[in-house]
Amino acid sequence: MDIDSLFKVPKLPTGGNKRRMPDNPTPEMLKRMRTEAPSSSSHFVAPTPPTSTKGKARAATVEDVPEEEEDDTNDTFAPGGDADYFAEEDDEGRFFGGGLTDEQKKILNIFDGAGGEGAAAEDLEELNITGIRRMLLKFDRAVKKNQDQRSKFPDDPTKFIDSEADLDSAIKSLLPLAQSPSIAYPELVKSGALGQLIDLMSHENLDIVIDVVELLHELTDEDDDVDDDETARTDRKDGALKLLIDSLLEHSTMELLVANLSRMNEEEDSDRQGIYHTLGIFENSIGFNPALAEAVVSKTSIMKWLLTRTQAKTHDENRGYASEVLAILLQGNKENRIRFGKVDGVDILLRVLSQYRRRDPGDADEIEFMENIFDSLCSALSEPKNKRLFLDGEGVELMVIMMKEKMLSRSRSIKVLDHALSTPDGTANCERFVDALGLKTLFSALMNKADRKPKSGTTPASEDTSHILGILSSLFSNLASDSPPRIRLLTKFVEAEYEKVDRLLEIRDSATSRLAAADKEIASEKAELLKEGETAMVEDEDVWYLRRLDGGLFTLQTVDYVLGWICMEDDGIRAHTQAMLGRKNKSVKDIVTVLRELHDNVGEEPLLEDGEAGSEAPPQKIILQGLIGFLESC
């Protein structure tokens, strides 16, 4: 470009103002050039214009250029059309520029202006029915355009890549719908947009699938409702969200979600996030309607996938999430627990837990993962068939080993044994527990002789004690009379001058004190009801009984059940127990009172699928009648 058209300066001599150096300069010449050279800190100064303004001798005179011409000139003069080429310079006056064109600068300014909390609130205000329909219409056009481009040019991605980018943007633009569910969800279903979203889960581009999964995760999240009004939240939960989840089930969305899990490679960040959002959809849906857990497991292969994912050698976020969803599926659902046993779930979880025999989890997330696996196993052991699988998989031996180690898994292993040995179906596990030398470690834990420092994530001692008492209760209920395992159990209470009996009485005193405090609170509430002229309902009595159980009654009932057994089977233990109770103005009749209340509230033993009892052992109700009858005669 001709610079003279902008800046008119005196024409320079033909030779220019640069001094040419000869090929072999003399020392005097170098010295003279150095003394005449300008200071390195000086800048270019335009020549002073002469007093006369005639002719072309005026120096550095800037002509007035029309505004439009000036813009065009700047666009061509600045390298790359850099909008900040003339605005950005360093301290020495050198121009650098921002490297952005005017158009790019405008785009950035738009994004900057749209940021912040104020913008978010403004967007929410626009989520009316008209705005939602406009968003869905834009999404519909993007879907149809992409389908059209892909059908016309199936072998030429360059022809449909732009429409795919538009589709990606259109899907993400629907994320704000989660902030206004009561308005958006019915429109989403009625317009058919939800069906289009579900169809996109079979899209050839996995990135589009992941976009849809992320959107569904947000839409099914109950915590996304920003409306503080309680009525609106209830309306969303009972209405809009139910409509959305029911529609997802009608379109076989759960099956598509599980099918897409095999398409994702967790080495890729986007795929890893896609799996995370997929698990989130299952959690949100089952959390809203727990009855869906059975349908999800029966219609999909999610159970097998979760079990496979938990077996990964390295721990990550998705492994922990998989264990959490597995625990949710097994909790409170009999059919899922039965299917869990059929797919070899008990043996798989035992193999996963075996890695924590002699090492603790690496961090808090892995601790949570380990707890989820233990919880899943405890839920599974509610089924008699799974207890047999636990026995065949040497689960009792593994838990005994964990009890012996000074690891975080110790408390959880005690909890698992409590579930595995309970009910008459746990008889075989009780016998295996004694054969595996579990009594020594169990009583060591009961006496608090374990020499270990508290660690992060440890189970409270009171919870351990409750599970230990549960194991003792199961051993006395299930071990056959006069059998070697039962004799070994009873011997433990006799040794060391009945120190285990004293420990049981100590636990009993603590539970009695806690129960007295709970009874006092309940009595106060009953008195308030009487003052107001109200009577206690049956529902209130049930709630109060549950509060008493949590307040120490459950522990008291269990410890008195064990004391009743050992007093009936050994005269020395009975005499020692009576003497210790007498020191506190109590007697065996206090134990009888507790056992009688337990007898009145215990239910009948459940039958197996074939209608027969789980084992030849008498049910707990009959056992309690025998214990009460013997203690009353003492």
**Res. 620: pLDDT tops 50:** yes
* Distance, CA of 506 to CA of 498 (rounded, Å): 13
Predicted local distance difference test score (pLDDT) of residue 310: 96
* Distance, CA of 429 to CA of 43 (rounded, Å): 93
- pLDDT band for position 155 (50/70/90)? confident
* Alpha-carbon dihedral 341, 344, 350, 355, rounded to 10 degrees: -150
Q: What percent of the chain has pLDDT over 90?
A: 61
Going by C-alpha positions, the residue among 162, 212, 163, 155 that lies closest to residue 188 is 212
Average pLDDT over the chain, rounded to an integer? 81
Distances (CA, A) of 62 to 5, 58, 155, 445: 9, 10, 58, 95
Distances (CA, A) of 556 to 349, 417, 513, 631: 33, 20, 10, 17
Query: What's the pLDDT tens digit per position in 438-455?
Result: 999 999 999 985 444 444
Query: What's the pLDDT tens digit per position in 364-386?
Result: 999 999 999 999 999 999 999 99
**Res. 192: pLDDT tops 60:** yes
Predicted local distance difference test score (pLDDT) of residue 180: 87
Residue 24 tokens, joined: 């072999």
Question: What is the residue-wise DSSP string for 30-46?
Answer: HHHHHHHSPPTT----P
Amino acid, res. 627:
L
What per-residue string of b and e applies to 199-223 under the rule 16 or more CB within 10 Å gives b?
ebbebebbebbbbbbbbbbbbbbee
**Res. 32: pLDDT tops 70:** no
- pLDDT band for position 236 (50/70/90)? low
Ramachandran angles phi, psi of 61, nearest 5°: -95, 125
Distances (CA, A) of 508 to 518, 546, 554, 558, 568: 15, 19, 11, 9, 18
Q: What percent of the chain has pLDDT over 70?
A: 72
**Mean predicted confidence (pLDDT) in 158-173:** 91
- pLDDT band for position 24 (50/70/90)? low
Ramachandran angles phi, psi of 575, nearest 5°: -65, -40
DSSP symbol at 359: -
Residue 513 tokens, joined: 């004190």
Ramachandran angles phi, psi of 101, nearest 5°: -80, 175
Predicted local distance difference test score (pLDDT) of residue 448: 80
Predicted local distance difference test score (pLDDT) of residue 154: 83
User: CB count, 10 Å around CB of 569?
Assistant: 18
- β-partners of residue 89 are 95
49: helix, strand or coil: coil
**Res. 433: pLDDT tops 90:** yes
Distances (CA, A) of 591 to 431, 466, 494, 588: 28, 18, 20, 5
Going by C-alpha positions, the residue among 196, 221, 318, 197 that lies closest to residue 269 is 318
Predicted local distance difference test score (pLDDT) of residue 621: 86
**Res. 565: pLDDT tops 50:** yes
Going by C-alpha positions, the residue among 428, 348, 416, 339 that lies closest to residue 379 is 416
Provide CB contacts within 8 A for 298, sequence distance 6+: 335, 339
Question: What is the residue-wise DSSP string for 239-270?
Answer: IIHHHHHHHHHHTTHHHHHHHHHTT--TTSHH
339-353, 580-594, 618-632: segment of lowest average pLDDT:
618-632
CB 482 within 8 A of CB 569: no
**Res. 387: pLDDT tops 90:** yes
**Res. 115: pLDDT tops 90:** no
Query: What's the pLDDT tens digit per position in 123-148?
Result: 444 678 999 999 999 999 999 999 99
Query: What's the pLDDT tens digit per position in 294-317?
Result: 999 999 999 999 999 999 989 999
Predicted local distance difference test score (pLDDT) of residue 106: 61
Helices 334-342 and 292-299 meet at what angle, rounded to 10?
20
Fold (topology level) of 293-479: Leucine-rich Repeat Variant (1.25.10)
More confident residue, 231 or 104: 104
* Distance, CA of 303 to CA of 336 (rounded, Å): 9
**Res. 494: pLDDT tops 60:** yes
**Mean predicted confidence (pLDDT) in 270-277:** 96
Predicted local distance difference test score (pLDDT) of residue 324: 97
Query: What's the pLDDT tens digit per position in 77-88?
Result: 455 555 554 554
User: CB count, 10 Å around CB of 92?
Assistant: 7
Residue 484 tokens, joined: 């070697």
* Distance, CA of 618 to CA of 614 (rounded, Å): 10
- pLDDT band for position 68 (50/70/90)? very low
Predicted local distance difference test score (pLDDT) of residue 285: 94
* Distance, CA of 627 to CA of 632 (rounded, Å): 9
CB 81 within 8 A of CB 95: no
95: helix, strand or coil: strand
Domain layout of the chain by residue ranges: 1-103, 126-289, 293-479, 488-604+617-632
Going by C-alpha positions, the residue among 411, 385, 391, 404 that lies closest to residue 350 is 391
Cut 0.85: pTM above it: no
**Mean predicted confidence (pLDDT) in 208-234:** 75
Amino acid, res. 147:
Q
Residue 169 tokens, joined: 């943007």
